[in-house]
């Protein structure tokens, strides 16, 4: 059976495509080095539109109104600029209510876009631009450690990673966040209260890598201006041992926290990238594998959620689970030596 | 032209769900179509796979391992069709699909209580999430309306309004607003549009919207006159449009569509079509209800005299949208279904964590209890929503109760994955809360949508497959309505078997009684209500009912309607365990 892969890799080649949600301008060129927070492409879009119904305002037909319109498609107008004018005994004018650009004229109407908003697309990882996607974005390549999470608050930043994590199930309390941590990416375990998120914002920190947090904090976490990445999920869960070991051994290294949303259709997911020097470029990780004996796997659901193990047996057919359900399953030898029967759909390969 | 039995045509049905992909082989055995075997594999619409073809081929490989006949060519990994003299391959393919995100839908009508309501009901016939509505009562300026539509990032716009030959000026304005809004979107993100309004305006619609939208389809008017609503033709057009949308969104859908000769259908639509078909075929005088609780959506299809009412509710899907159920119900309303002492905090974390891994299944008893509780509430809410759209003549004697039905068929992972058949039945009884007397079937292999897809190719196949016992008969349920206190006797029942032996039960209010009656057997059930209880024959009316057996036999549900659960959690859990025990644990 095909197996999804959770990447927790000490050294790999990481290739990421970064594209704008709508056409825009790419600001980079091939072979250019980028930092995670560099803007690689940008675009503007109109937050609002204004539809001016000339025909209706003047009480005339659309054809007649078109003759009175004084602007053309693409014109940039200041607030108060003349749009249409009707002369005669009772002359009348229509002026631009706001500064903006004329999008369409016709059928006695003028449509303007107003209130430009800018979208800046950040690199999201340090590396080299290997490809330009015209009008859309770039492909960036780097080498380093890669640790994927399951939830992110949508923000990106980088900084020196400081580990406050001694055990995978440590809990981070607000009191542990002192001024010496300002500007750092904090590696912590579980957060259980809003005060801790606020204390991190007050410092401020450049990122928070957590094992878990209560789902009740999701809304608050979205409001934080620093990235928050969760490796295991919601509730009170210790960090999986592979992520714990890899992250803590990279203590005091520069780390990028791209707390992207986990989008199951595009495949984007939150990840920590720790750039490392290389002599030979390592292989890119595979996106999926097959469940096979000896594979290291992570349990996605209870019991033992987040724990790692090795596939010891792959029984044929369906296995009876403690829940009473029957499903294809694997016997997994857990890190603590116990053997657990786990449905295959509750497993992901680690690597 | 439908194939005849003589052609001996083997049919492969493929259903790509949000979490599982199933491949099912139907073939002619001894002159009748039979369900031969089923293979399944996790679906691969989502990352990291992002191609449904991988899951389809895995499911086909599992199916060919069971049947021993090759379905996939070892040379180029393609489907072997038609069937070959060596027994490999299949003659035809039908397919259904429910994988994919909810379809972001803008619903547009003229009168809010007329065409807008019809358009809303049309939206409910597929995996839609209504993100914006527009009608004549909308007081926003047109530019605000346009911006709102653009911001809602629709995949689909449903346009209804105007009776045939009726008002056209108001619709013209609506069309302009929609056209301009679509023009403002990036070309590759423009929505598909289904126009189901005044047919006189179809040409204007094509002229105004034809170049501005992702794809335009025109269907017959959902409201040809003020008094008449006719959703069926538009439902069919929308099903086809949604599949075109999926082709744009998900890799591999185009190949599946090609295999099925363009007859790829949304799973819920095919499910509904089958219920409508069965309702016509069995000339159901009361009604036939099909429910399906799946990862993408919970769907409820009801056939009354051949007319179909279909409700598809992605907000009550038990997959990636799971945590979203809290926007529609309270934690307490889910907790009430739990037979175990589980805190609301634990349940909340379960909902959010399961949303991260929607394909995961319950491995522990606690998780299974939570999954079943959520499925109960999802089905309960879906049935109540669907009931509002039942035809006027089929709304039951009391507003808070369902109408009496002839048959209930349940399916979908959350129902069919019950740890026992009794649990599957209990889930349906708790959530649907039927009244009167009806057999309940379990579609354990989720065949119903596939049969719905196959029906368009071969009318014989669904009937013969169903009659061959492809569904599990859980038994006949008699739901008693009574006004009594817990423990009060409300019914005396006597079941007389074909061999003359008898089984008796004194039924008390608040309990579930099961009288054994094997699958395939029939018996006579004499009921004698007490305290003017209604066992389906009318308040206080005694009589004899012919009942059919099933895996559980005859189940008398004397818990009352609507089901009132005790407020005290300890007492409630104790009762739930008792009910669970009554249906086999």
**Sign of the alpha-carbon dihedral angle for A179, A184, A185, A188:** negative
Q: Say what percent of chain A tops pLDDT 90.
A: 90
pLDDT of residue A90 exceeding 80, the answer is: no
Contact B364 A235 (CB under 8 A): no
The number of CA neighbours under 13 Å toward the Cβ of B252 is 22
Average pLDDT over residues A150-158: 96
Residue pLDDT, tens place only, B496-530: 999 999 999 999 999 999 999 999 999 999 999 99
Same structural domain for residues B88 and B116?
Answer: no
pLDDT at B2: 46
Tell me the C-alpha distance between B57 and B71, whole Å.
9
Q: What pLDDT is stored for residue A274 in this prediction?
A: 96
Q: Residue B27 belongs to a domain with what CATH number?
A: 3.30.420.40
How high is the mean pLDDT of chain A? 94
Q: What pLDDT, in 10s, does the model give residues B529-564?
A: 998 999 999 999 999 999 999 999 999 999 999 999
Residue B367 in any domain: the answer is: no
End-of-domain residue from the set B197, B222, B249: B249
- When mean pLDDT is compared across B11-25, B350-364, B382-396, B425-439, the lowest value belongs to B382-396
The mean per-residue pLDDT over the stretch B25-50 comes to 92
Spatial distance between the Cα atoms of B451 and B458, rounded to a whole number of angstroms: 9
pLDDT at B392 (0 to 100): 81
- Which one is the CATH code of A291-350: 3.30.160.110, 1.10.10.10, 3.30.460.80, 2.30.30.30? 2.30.30.30
Model confidence at B585, pLDDT cuts 50, 70, 90, reads confident
* pLDDT band of B6, cuts 50, 70, 90: very low
User: What percentage of chain B exceeds 70 in pLDDT?
Assistant: 98
Q: Model pTM?
A: 0.93
Assigned domain for B513 exists: yes
Report pLDDT digits (tens) over B396-453. 778 889 999 999 999 998 998 777 999 999 999 999 999 999 999 999 999 999 999 9
Kindly determine whether residue A264 and residue B55, on different chains, have CB atoms separated by under 8 Å. Answer: no
Of B47, B186, B360, Cβ closest to residue A346: B360
Tens digit of each residue's pLDDT (9 = 90 or more) over B237-269? 999 999 999 999 999 999 999 999 988 999 999
B528 and B407 in one domain? yes
Give me the residue from A51, A324, A344 closest to B368, CB to CB: A324
Is A215 within 8 Å of B349 when comparing Cβ atoms? yes
Is B355 a member of any domain? Answer: no
Q: Give the confidence band of A50 by pLDDT, cuts at 50, 70, 90.
A: very high
Taking residues B138-146, what's their average pLDDT?
94
User: How close A351 gets to chain B, by Cα (Å)?
Assistant: 14
Q: At what angle do helices B232-249 and B115-123 cross, to 10 degrees?
A: 50
Do B68 and B110 share a domain, yes or no?
no
Confidence category of residue B458, pLDDT binned at 50, 70, 90: confident
pLDDT tens, residue by residue, A292-317: 999 999 999 999 999 999 999 999 98
If asked whether residues B313 and B457 sit together in one domain, one would say yes
Confidence of residue B395 (pLDDT cuts 50, 70, 90): low
CATH 3.50.30.10 fits A2-14+142-275, yes or no: yes
Q: Does one domain contain both B419 and B488?
A: yes
> What is the rounded distance in angstroms from the CA atom of residue B449 to the CA atom of residue B292?
10
CA dihedral angle for residue B54, residue B57, residue B59, residue B65, rounded to 10 degrees: -140
Mean pLDDT (whole number) for B284-290: 88
Q: What is the pLDDT of residue A185?
A: 98
Is residue B232 assigned to a domain? Answer: yes
With bands split at pLDDT 50, 70 and 90, how would you rate the model's confidence at A88? confident
Starting at the edge strand found earlier in the chain, the sheet holding B298-304 runs B307-313, B298-304, B288-293, B407-411, B436-443, B472-479, B553-558, B511-515
- Which residues, including other chains, have CB under 8 Å from residue A327's CB and lie 6 or more apart? A318, A319, A321, A343, A344, A345, B361
Q: Which two tokens stand for residue B247?
A: 């082709």
Tell me how many residue pairs between chain A and chain B have CB atoms under 8 A apart: 139
Output the CATH code of domain A46-117.
2.40.50
Domain count, chain B: 3
State yes or no: pLDDT of B355 exceeds 50: yes
DSSP B459: S
| pLDDT tens per residue across span A175-224 | 999 999 999 999 999 999 999 999 999 999 999 999 999 999 999 999 99
Q: How far apart are CA B38 and CA B26, in angstroms?
A: 9
User: Which residues constitute the domain of residue B36?
Assistant: 5-97
* A301: nearest CB among B186, B345, B360: B360
**Residue A56: pLDDT over 50:** yes
Question: Are B313 and B449 part of one and the same domain?
Answer: yes
Nearest to A152 by CA among A71, A237, A209: A209
Specify if B477 maps to a domain. Answer: yes
| Residues B545/B478, Cβ–Cβ less than 8 Å | yes
DSSP label at B5?
G
pLDDT band at B376; cut points 50, 70, 90: very high
B551: in domain: yes
For A88-92, B79-83, B438-442, which range has the lowest pLDDT when averaged over its residues? A88-92
**Inter-chain touch B357–A346, beta carbons under 8 Å:** yes
**pLDDT at B491 > cutoff 90:** yes
* Residue range A326-350: mean pLDDT, rounded: 95
Query: How many other C-beta atoms lie within 10 A of the C-beta of residue B84?
Result: 12
pLDDT of B7 reads 56
| Contact residues, chain B, for A23 at CB < 8 Å | 186
A316 lies within 8 A of chain B by CB: no
- Of B40, B62, B97, the position where a domain reaches its end is B97
Note whether A215 contacts B143, CB cutoff 8 Å: no
Chain mean pLDDT for chain B: 93
Report the residue from B176, B351, B367 with minimal CB separation from A323: B367
B416 touches B424 (CB < 8 A): yes
- Whether residues B412 and B505 fall in one domain: yes
Residue B449 domain flag: yes
User: Do B115 and B34 touch, CB atoms closer than 8 A?
Assistant: no
Q: Are the Cβ atoms of B360 and A343 closer than 8 angstroms?
A: yes
Coil/strand/helix, residue B234: helix
One domain, residues B234 and B186? yes
Q: What is the rounded CA–CA span in Å between residue B354 and residue B319? A: 7
d(CA A301, CA A309): 13
Same domain, yes or no: B77 and B118: no
The whole-number average pLDDT for the span B214-221 is 95
Average pLDDT over residues B287-296: 95
Q: Where are the domains of chain A?
A: 2-14+142-275, 46-117, 291-350
In a domain, B256, yes or no: no
- Give the CATH number for residue B197: 3.40.50.360
């Amino acid at each position: 059976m095909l197996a999804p892969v959770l990447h927790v890799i000490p050294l790999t080649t990481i290739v990421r495509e970064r594209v704008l949600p709508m056409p825009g301008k790419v600001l980079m060129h091939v072979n250019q080095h980028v930092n995670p927070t560099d803007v690689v492409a940008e675009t503007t879009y109109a937050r609002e539109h204004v539809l001016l119904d000339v025909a209706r305002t003047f009480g005339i037909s659309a054809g007649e109104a078109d003759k009175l319109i004084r602007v053309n498609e693409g014109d940039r107008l200041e607030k108060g600029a003349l749009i249409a004018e009707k002369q005669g005994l009772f002359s009348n004018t229509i002026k631009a209510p706001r500064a903006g650009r004329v999008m369409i004229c016709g059928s006695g109407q003028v449509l303007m876009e107003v209130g430009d908003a800018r979208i800046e697309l950040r690199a999201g990882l340090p590396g080299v631009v290997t490809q330009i996607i015209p009008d859309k974005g770039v492909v960036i390549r780097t080498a380093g450690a890669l640790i994927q999470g399951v939830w992110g608050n949508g923000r990106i930043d980088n900084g020196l990673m400081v580990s406050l994590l001694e055990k995978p199930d440590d809990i981070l309390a607000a009191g542990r966040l002192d001024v010496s941590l300002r500007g750092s990416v904090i590696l912590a375990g579980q957060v259980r209260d809003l005060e801790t998120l606020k204390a991190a914002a007050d410092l401020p920190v450049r990122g928070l890598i957590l094992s878990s947090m209560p789902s009740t904090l999701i809304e608050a976490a979205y409001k934080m201006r620093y990235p928050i990445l969760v490796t295991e999920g919601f509730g009170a869960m210790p960090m999986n041992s592979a992520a714990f070991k890899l992250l803590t051994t990279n203590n005091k290294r520069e780390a990028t926290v791209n707390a992207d949303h986990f989008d199951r259709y595009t495949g984007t997911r939150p990840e920590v990238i720790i750039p490392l020097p290389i002599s030979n470029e390592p292989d890119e990780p595979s996106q999926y594998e097959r469940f096979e004996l000896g594979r290291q796997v992570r349990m996605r659901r209870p019991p033992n959620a987040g724990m790692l193990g090795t596939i010891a047996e792959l029984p044929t057919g369906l296995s009876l689970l403690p829940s009473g359900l029957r499903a294809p399953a694997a016997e997994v030898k857990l890190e603590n030596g116990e053997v657990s029967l786990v449905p295959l759909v509750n497993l992901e390969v680690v690597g | 032209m439908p194939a005849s039995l003589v052609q001996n045509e083997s049919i492969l049905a493929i259903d790509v769900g949000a979490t599982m992909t199933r491949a099912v082989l139907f073939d002619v055995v001894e002159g009748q179509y039979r369900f031969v075997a089923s293979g399944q594999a996790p679906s691969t619409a989502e990352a990291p796979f992002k191609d449904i073809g991988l899951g389809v081929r895995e499911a086909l490989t599992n199916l060919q391992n069971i049947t021993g006949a090759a379905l996939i060519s070892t040379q180029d990994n393609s489907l072997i069709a038609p069937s070959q003299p060596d027994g490999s391959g299949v003659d035809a393919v039908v397919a259904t699909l429910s994988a994919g995100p909810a379809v972001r839908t803008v619903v547009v009508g003229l009168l809010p209580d007329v065409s807008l309501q019809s358009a809303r009901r049309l939206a409910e016939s597929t995996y839609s999430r209504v993100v914006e509505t527009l009608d004549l009562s909308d007081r926003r300026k047109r530019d605000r309306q346009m911006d709102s539509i653009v911001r809602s990032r629709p995949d689909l716009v449903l346009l209804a309004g105007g009776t045939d030959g009726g008002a056209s000026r108001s619709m013209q304005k609506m069309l302009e607003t929609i056209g301009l809004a679509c023009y403002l979107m990036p070309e590759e993100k423009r929505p598909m549009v289904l126009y189901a309004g005044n047919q006189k305006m179809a040409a204007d619609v094509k002229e105004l919207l034809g170049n501005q939208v992702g794809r335009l389809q025109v269907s017959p008017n959902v409201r040809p006159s003020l008094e008449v609503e006719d959703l069926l033709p538009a439902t069919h057009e929308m099903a086809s449009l949604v599949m075109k949308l999926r082709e744009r969104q998900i890799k591999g859908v185009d190949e599946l569509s090609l295999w099925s000769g363009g007859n790829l259908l949304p799973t819920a639509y095919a499910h509904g079509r089958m219920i409508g078909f069965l309702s016509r075929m069995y000339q159901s005088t009361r009604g036939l209800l099909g429910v399906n609780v799946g990862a993408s959506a919970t769907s409820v299809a009801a056939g009354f005299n051949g007319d179909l009412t279909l409700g598809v509710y992605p907000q009550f899907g038990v997959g990636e949208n799971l945590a979203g159920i809290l926007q529609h119900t309270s934690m307490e309303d889910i907790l009430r279904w739990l037979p175990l002492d589980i805190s609301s905090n634990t349940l909340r974390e379960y909902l959010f964590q399961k949303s991260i891994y929607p394909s995961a299944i319950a491995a522990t008893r606690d998780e299974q209890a939570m999954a079943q509780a959520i499925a109960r509430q999802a089905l309960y809410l879906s049935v109540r929503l669907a009931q509002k759209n039942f035809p006027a003549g089929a709304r039951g004697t009391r507003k808070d109760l369902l109408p009496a039905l002839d048959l209930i068929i349940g399916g979908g992972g959350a129902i069919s994955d019950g740890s026992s058949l009794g649990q599957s039945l209990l889930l349906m009884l708790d959530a649907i809360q039927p009244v009167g007397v009806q057999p309940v079937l379990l579609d354990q292999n989720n065949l119903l949508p596939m049969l719905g897809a196959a029906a368009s190719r071969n009318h014989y196949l669904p009937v013969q497959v169903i009659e061959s016992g492809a569904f599990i008969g859980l038994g006949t349920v008699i739901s008693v309505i009574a006004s009594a206190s817990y423990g009060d006797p409300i019914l005396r029942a006597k079941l007389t078997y074909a061999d003359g032996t008898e089984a008796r039960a004194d039924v008390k209010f608040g309990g579930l009684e099961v009288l054994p009656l094997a699958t395939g057997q029939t018996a006579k059930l004499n009921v004698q209500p007490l305290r003017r209880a209604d066992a389906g024959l009318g308040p206080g009316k005694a009589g004899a009912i012919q009942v059919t057996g099933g895996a559980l036999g005859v189940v008398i549900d004397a818990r009352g309607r609507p089901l009132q659960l005790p407020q005290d959690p300890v007492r409630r859990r104790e009762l739930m365990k008792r009910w669970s025990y009554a249906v086999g644990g």
